[in-house]
Every structure is written in structure tokens, then in C-alpha cells.
């Protein structure tokens, strides 16, 4: 009788250990995380506009009023530049590292002139850019990221159905390119 209690106690300790191991290691092994899904959307350096229904990669526009686009980037060779116009009631951008930790976020009120113009660079590239800022990038917001890879999520609000074409045009004209 004592032995069966001991067996159960050992089992419970093992269950607790396994629980901790799974919880702590899941972020490193998951292939369902947001970064993997953004990568399987398609090629990098393009904003992929999401649908209302989950697509093959498993991503969807979650808020019915927010048109959403995602873009994965890799700043190993060149910094990445994100651009978009203005003219909709609200837009917002968030940049994440591969572990889906937020590195930067901005909305239309906190940007200059309501336009999106962000350069994502590694610390080394950022130093080089600050030394000699190329003409045309003077107004850009420079974001330093510790990791070269990551993804950006751009959301455009269409509070009423008549705004949807505007929001769709905003997202499809948004740029996500390597900056030379």
C-alpha cells in the first residue's frame, strides 16, 4: 500500500517536472507561432494582406474593422524600410523579433505627418546610417533591433464599410523593402 502511494507521488513529481519542461521549451519548438506563420505567408519583404478567414498559414484579420498585413524581413545585409501613406482614420505598426517579442510600435499620431516611414537596422547599420544619412531618409524613424530577422504587422482601420477600399489601398500601397 505504501509502495503504491510512493509510485503515485513519484508520478506527480514527474508530471510537474514535465509540465515545466514543456512550458519553458514550447516557444523554441513551436511551429505554430506567429513568426513561423508569417514566414509561411510567402516571400519576405512584401506586405501580405490577410483575409477574414484563416489562410493556409493560419493567420487571419482578427478584428473585423482592422485590415491587417504582415511582412517578414531580414536585415542581415541591408536595413529594411517600411513606408505607407496617410488618409485613413487610424493605422498602426508593430515590429516583432522571431520570438514575437515587440521591438517597436507606432501609430499614425506618433509618426511624423501621419505617414509611415520606418527604417529597421542592426546596431552596426544604424551607426553607419547616423554618420551619413542618405538624402531622402532624413525624415525616417530609425529603429535598432538586436536580431536581424523579424516581422512587421501593419493594421489599417475601416470603421465603416465605405472606408474599406481606402484601407485596402493603404495596405496594398505600403512598402516593405530592403533599403540600399
Name the residues that contact another protein, by CB under 8 A.
Answer: 3-4, 6-8, 10-19, 21-24, 26-27, 30, 32-34, 36-37, 52, 58-60, 62-66, 68, 70, 89-90, 92-96, 99-102, 104-107, 109-110, 153, 155, 157, 159-160
Q: Which is nearer to another protein, 68 or 125 (CB)?
A: 68
Nearest to 179 by CA among 41, 80, 98: 80
Pick 52 or 139: Cβ nearer another protein: 52
Pairing of strands 102-107, 116-121: unpaired
Between 15 and 128, whose beta carbon lies closer to another protein? 15
Give the cell for residue 13: 513529481
Q: Which of 47, 65, 56, 67 is nearest to 151 (CA)?
A: 47
Q: To the nearest whole angstrom, how small is the minimum distance from the Cβ of residue 79 to another protein? A: 20
Cα 98 to Cα 44: distance, rounded to the nearest angstrom: 13
Give the alpha-carbon dihedral of 106, 173, 54, 90, to 10 degrees.
Answer: 40
**With respect to another protein, which residue has the nearer C-beta, 15 or 86?**
15
CB of 10 to another protein, least distance (A): 4
Amino acid at each position: 500500500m505504501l509502495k503504491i502511494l510512493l509510485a503515485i507521488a513519484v508520478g506527480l513529481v514527474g508530471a510537474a517536472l514535465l509540465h515545466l519542461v514543456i512550458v519553458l521549451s514550447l516557444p523554441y519548438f513551436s511551429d505554430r507561432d506567429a513568426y513561423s506563420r508569417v514566414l509561411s505567408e510567402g516571400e519576405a519583404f512584401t506586405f501580405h494582406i490577410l483575409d477574414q478567414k484563416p489562410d493556409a498559414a493560419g493567420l487571419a484579420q482578427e478584428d473585423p474593422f482592422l485590415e491587417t498585413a504582415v511582412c517578414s524581413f531580414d536585415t542581415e545585409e541591408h536595413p529594411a524600410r517600411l513606408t505607407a501613406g496617410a488618409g485613413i482614420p487610424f493605422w498602426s505598426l508593430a515590429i516583432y523579433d522571431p520570438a514575437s517579442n515587440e521591438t517597436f510600435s507606432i501609430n499614425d499620431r506618433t509618426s511624423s505627418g501621419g505617414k509611415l516611414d520606418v527604417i529597421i537596422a542592426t546596431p552596426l547599420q544604424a551607426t553607419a546610417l547616423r554618420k551619413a544619412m542618405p538624402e531622402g531618409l532624413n525624415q525616417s524613424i530609425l529603429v535598432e533591433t538586436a536580431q536581424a530577422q523579424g516581422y512587421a504587422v501593419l493594421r489599417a482601420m475601416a470603421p465603416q464599410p465605405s472606408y474599406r477600399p481606402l484601407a485596402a489601398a493603404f495596405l496594398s500601397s505600403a512598402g516593405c523593402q530592403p533599403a540600399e
